Structure 1
Amino acid sequence: MNHPVSTSGEQEKLPRNLGLWGLWMLVVNGFVGAGIFGLPSGAYDLAGEYSIYIYVACALLMLPVILSFAELGSYFRGTGGPIKYGTEAFGPFIGFQAGWLFYVARLISFAANSVLLTDSIGYFFDFATGGTGRLITLAVIIGGLTLVNVLGAVESIRSLALFTVLKFSILLFLVFGGLTVLGSEVAPTFEGPIPPVSDLGAAALLLIYAFVGFEGAVVPAGEAKQPERDMPLALLLGLGSVVVLYMFIQLVAQAAVPNLGETTSPLLDASGILFGPIGALILMIGVVASVTGNLVSTMFSTPRLTYALSIEGSLPEWFGRVHPKFLTPTNSVIFFGVLTFIFAALGSFTYLAAMTVLSRLFLFIISCGAIPKLRPRFKDQSPFILKGGYLIPVLGILACIWLMLQVSFSSIWLTALFIAIGTGLYLLSKTKSRVKGTSNTQ
């Protein structure tokens, strides 16, 4: 079988070390961040025992989008993911905007999770809770992850594997321990009335945040051994893994905590009730491991966006330089690390975090819309073509439009602001390129 042709402007310089296991870890760590440690209470407050079905509904809502990404991921062997999809389907400007919005969303999310991790460390050490100690803790976290990613992709995936195993071990400890202690009490009775449609919709909007983040895994396709085969499998296995895990976590939490809808730390409370103070401590370690794994995954994939934009000619060449010894996009990694530290040190991300949701939905729509443009070119080379014509990407677009209708006005104007900033950077880069080209011909 012929591999899909890489359409990058330059030959990929990054070594291909990622197999199916590495890609799967990027997917599940994109899904399972800090959200699952707090979402069960909000879901229960809105939907009661029926909240376990909301997880299934959210998975089905995102399935067309993930399937569309799976097909797109089988087309290309180069770094970039959504940047490449948007560029090849709609031209360099749309490709740049897709990459830019994704980059900003991931950057702010990384900074916010860094603050969350610092606060979690403060549970054990007061030094990390404020002032200079907080800044030092943030510097150690972000600086350490930056250094690991500069030293090499293999080191990054190894560290990601450690946090993935630790995180899932603790979540599975809660699930299996809860099932053992509670026994048949875990099974919901569904004796109460079905909640109003408005509450079910609000619960779906809340839980959908636990089903985004997977898109980061498609960015480093240029470092995957067989992306045309492994990328679709990693995405689908990742979705299947997390939806089952989420449902069991919800079942245990709502059976263990009588006032689940009123607590702000549902899993911590559940573990404390089931296993005592030691259980609460173990769960807190799980929070730290989960957020750290999410940070490692984000730090690995997001700097590849500016690297890909650079080799596509939409950002200065500086971002596309690869370290001669470590073979990593060092400049892009360091740039990302510095920016995230600045945002994290500022500490307030309420409105910016809201903006990331809408920008991701734009990204999903661009990617789903790219399939009708790209499939005719790649269908004979790709091993993963969706059935049903273009029904699945259309369903993905409709799901994103429905979610867009639920966002706040602040998300809209902040997203518009960042689109304007991205447009300015793109035009500046293209102007410099034209000036350079003119000077070279004289």
Structure 2
Amino acid sequence: MHQSTATTVQTNAAPTETVQLPRQLGFWSLWLLVINGLIGAGIFGLPAGAARLAGDFSLWLYPLCALLILPVLLCFAELASRFAGSGGPARYAAAAFGPVFGFQAGWLYYLARLVSVAANSVLLVDSVSYFLPSLQSGSPRLLLLLSIIGSLTLLNVWGVRQTMRWLGTLTLVKIAVIAGFAISGCALLLLPATSLHHIEWQPFWSYPAVSDGPAALLLLVYAFVGFESALIPAGEAKNPQRDLPRALLLGLAVVTLLYMAVQAACLLLLPNLADSKTPLLEATALITGYWGQTSWRPAATGLLMFGIIASVSANLLGAMFSTPRLSHSLATQGQLPAWFARVHPRFLTPANAIWFFGALTLLLASAGSFFYLAAATVLIRALLYGLCCLALPVLRRREPSILQLPLAPLWPWLGLLVCLWLASQVSAASVWLTLVLLALGLLLFHAAGWQQQNQGSRGC
């Protein structure tokens, strides 16, 4: 099998010595990374967009999108069962098509996650400013941004166990808030005196009454991407080939049910859901009224905002845990400077890679001029997924897989069709920007090769 031994890299204290990145991630840690890769802040605004495009049928858009992304996720599950080392999509592409494709996959993924983390950092600052308006602008806002990114970076450097404890706590809070909202909203059906919005529940197999069904699917399918973050630190998992496929499938199932429950509650509570800008906040206010506790309204609204903060924080923490492991993995393969491969001598974390990612995030988030890159991340995601779907048949021809999926030959090609559909929806500007980034990645790859050749010739 295409398994790699545990990564050994140079330490800061003794560059000539190597140290092993400990395998500390169990099944639940990987599941936390999957969940937080999928759920960010989008769920707090998506119900309105879904209702606007598909009406009452919007409840069923979530399982439809889950089924749409399932072939891609199954391809990643089988790929994860083949490898024990870190790198995720970069490792899979390199194994199937060579180091150039592996580096390009890693480069594009790193860029996409960097833009996403910077954007979510700004969103988190905006959410905190909801409670503290004095932090909305100027130097206080910049200090808050520095505090958030700095603390998350420091936590990741501090150690894997500490990071996973915080990630678990934040995930528990956000799931409790989201589930609590959905349950309390749907439970109003048990009260005979409530005048809830009348919904014509449509069967799963019916088609939306509006003509924007494909547009609605495109809007919501991006609530089901990000699961690949859990694959990057596979080299630090105790049993990645067994645990990662299970974590991916369980994560998709849990997230789909949560999304559906939130949509159902919003449909029941808000007749004008399609026009709402803050659907969950408006629905929370109505819930407290229906339960006869209008005095709780400020506390309930504050709790929901706290859930948003916990959700975005967990998403950031998971991304800042996984993404630096990619630059660390590329450095161990000689495709990035060895500085990225060094490990903290005490905490045994890829500290240099983490600090570098944190600094870039802070630079982008504080500059505020990076949002034009966000358009390219849509095509980047489609390219990455498509490349990994194509890698699977190549690797199958070389060696059978441990994970035997039903209808196995079908999934890579179905996944590739999904990726082609996603790629066909992007603008021409996104295509050109992605091509420029690919060209830059090719230059970086060859620059690393030239540097290695020069170092080798000097050593001779």
Corresponding position of 1:440: 459
Amino acid aligned to 1:6: S
Partner residue of 1:228 out of 241, 245, 251: 241
In the alignment, does 2:285 pair up with 1:272?
A: yes
Q: Secondary structure at the match of 1:123?
A: helix
Aligned counterparts of 1:9 and 1:269: Cα–Cα separation in 2:
49
Q: Is the 8 A contact 2:69 2:418 kept in 1?
A: yes
In percent, how many aligned pairs have the same letter?
49
Q: Secondary structure at the match of 1:77?
A: coil
Corresponding position of 1:351: 372
In the alignment, does 2:274 pair up with 1:254?
A: no
Partner residue of 1:175 out of 179, 182, 203: 182
Corresponding position of 1:35: 42
Partner residue of 1:369 out of 383, 386, 390: 390
Corresponding position of 2:3: 5
After superposition, where does 1:11-410 map in structure 2 within 5 Å?
13-183=20-190, 188-190=199-201, 195=208, 198-275=211-288, 276-379=297-400, 382-410=401-429
Q: Is the 8 A contact 1:82 1:98 kept in 2?
A: yes
Structure 2 unaligned blocks of 5 or more: 10-18, 289-296
Amino acid aligned to 2:412: P
Q: Is the 8 A contact 1:368 1:396 kept in 2?
A: yes
Corresponding position of 2:294: none
Amino acid aligned to 1:189: E
Deviation at 1:280, TM superposition (A): 1.5
Q: Secondary structure at the match of 1:264?
A: coil
Aligned counterparts of 2:444 and 2:244: Cα–Cα separation in 1:
31
- Provide the TM-score with structure 2 as the length reference: 0.91
Deviation at 1:426, TM superposition (A): 1.1
Deviation at 1:196, TM superposition (A): 5.9
Corresponding position of 2:449: 430
Relative to structure 2, which stretch is displaced further, 308-317 or 384-393? 384-393
Amino acid aligned to 1:141: I
Q: Is the 8 A contact 1:35 1:209 kept in 2?
A: no
Deviation at 1:84, TM superposition (A): 0.6
Amino acid aligned to 1:68: C
- Report Cα offsets for 1:299-345 as digits up to 9, x if no partner: 00000010011111111111111111110001100000000000000
Deviation at 1:387, TM superposition (A): 2.9
Q: Is the 8 A contact 2:54 2:210 kept in 1?
A: no
Amino acid aligned to 1:315: L
Aligned counterparts of 1:8 and 1:155: Cα–Cα separation in 2:
21
Aligned counterparts of 2:353 and 2:198: Cα–Cα separation in 1:
49
Aligned counterparts of 1:102 and 1:170: Cα–Cα separation in 2:
30
Partner residue of 2:436 out of 389, 413, 417: 417
- Report Cα offsets for 1:379-433 as digits up to 9, x if no partner: 2xx4313232421011001001011111122221221221122112111111101
Q: Is the 8 A contact 1:8 1:312 kept in 2?
A: no
Structure 1 residues 171, 14: closer, same or farther in 2, change over 3 A?
same
Structure 1 residues 370, 8: closer, same or farther in 2, change over 3 A?
farther
Structure 1 residues 43, 161: closer, same or farther in 2, change over 3 A?
same
Deviation at 1:355, TM superposition (A): 1.2
Deviation at 1:142, TM superposition (A): 0.4
Structure 1 residues 202, 368: closer, same or farther in 2, change over 3 A?
same
Amino acid aligned to 2:388: S
Structure 1 residues 165, 149: closer, same or farther in 2, change over 3 A?
same
Deviation at 1:352, TM superposition (A): 1.5
- Report Cα offsets for 1:130-163 as digits up to 9, x if no partner: 1101110010000001101111111111110010
Amino acid aligned to 2:51: Y
Deviation at 1:183, TM superposition (A): 3.6
Q: Is the 8 A contact 1:182 1:256 kept in 2?
A: no
Amino acid aligned to 2:265: V
Aligned counterparts of 1:125 and 1:396: Cα–Cα separation in 2:
45
Deviation at 1:13, TM superposition (A): 2.3
Aligned counterparts of 2:429 and 2:198: Cα–Cα separation in 1:
40
Deviation at 1:18, TM superposition (A): 0.6
Amino acid aligned to 1:147: L
Aligned counterparts of 1:129 and 1:223: Cα–Cα separation in 2:
39
Structure 1 residues 198, 440: closer, same or farther in 2, change over 3 A?
farther
Q: Is the 8 A contact 1:38 1:264 kept in 2?
A: yes
Amino acid aligned to 2:348: L
Structure 1 unaligned blocks of 5 or more: none
Structure 1 residues 384, 187: closer, same or farther in 2, change over 3 A?
farther
Aligned counterparts of 2:99 and 2:331: Cα–Cα separation in 1:
12
Aligned counterparts of 2:317 and 2:300: Cα–Cα separation in 1:
25
